[in-house]
Amino acid sequence: MMHALAMKFTPTQIPDVILIKPEVYSDARGFFYESYSRQMFSQHHIPIEFVQDNHSCSLRGVLRGLHFQIEPKAQAKLVRVSKGKIFDVAVDIRRNSPTFGRYVSSILSAENKHLLYVPTGFAHGFCVLEDGTEVLYKTSEFYSPEHERGIIWNDPSLAIAWPKLEGDYFISDKDKKFPALKEIFHD
């Protein structure tokens, strides 16, 4: 009989964004871990109900984001990588937050099996560091095109330290047209 596995929940420099390190059970056959446990999340004061799972596969150098949805369809996300590696970013876009306009980043990979919990009120994006990287993420709200928004990935006010790669990033035409943070949240 297998014992209940644990997850270590570690607040980042922006405490509402949580890095989650699951306990991994490995043996000669491979590995097993719980990538989500509603009970564990509730015990760590994250009573989120996820309603949708998304899965992307990308080439090295693909940069996705910075995406978010506005109320009433704002999304919390739980992000993990099943194959490959990403540089994952969450930007605080909560107007009254002391960390408004700041970001946190983390390396998520199939190897380290870390997850990143990104609450509502944050823009999210990532840069793919290995070909064939597969990113899986749960969302707390369904995708809603009319509520979808974004911030330009290279907004100088955010000063995100994206990884340096040979060549240009691969960015969708839609993501290239997003405005800067100050254009969205001007006074």
Tell me: the pLDDT tens digits for 64-98? Answer: 999 999 999 999 999 999 999 999 999 999 999 99
Structure pTM?
Answer: 0.93
Alpha-carbon span 90 to 106, nearest angstrom: 9
Calculate the dihedral angle through the C-alpha atoms of 176, 178, 101, 106, rounding to the nearest 10 degrees.
-40
pLDDT of residue 1: 40
Q: Calculate mean pLDDT across residues 16-42.
A: 91
CATH code, residues 50-184:
2.60.120.10
Q: pLDDT digits over 145-159, tens only?
A: 999 999 999 999 999
Q: Which DSSP category does 170 fall into?
A: B
Report the SS3 class of residue 139.
strand
Evaluate if residue 176 carries a pLDDT over 90. Answer: yes
Which two tokens mark 167?
Answer: 């060549």
CB 83 within 8 A of CB 134: yes
Domain boundaries, the chain: 50-184
Residues with catalytic annotation?
A: 67, 137
Looking up tokens 């990104």, which residue turns up? 118
CB 139 within 8 A of CB 76: yes
Report the SS3 class of residue 70.
coil
> Which segment, 27-31, 35-39, 152-156, is predicted with the most confidence on average?
152-156
Alpha-carbon span 135 to 4, nearest angstrom: 25
Which two tokens mark 127?
Answer: 């840069």
pLDDT of residue 97: 96
pLDDT of residue 187: 60
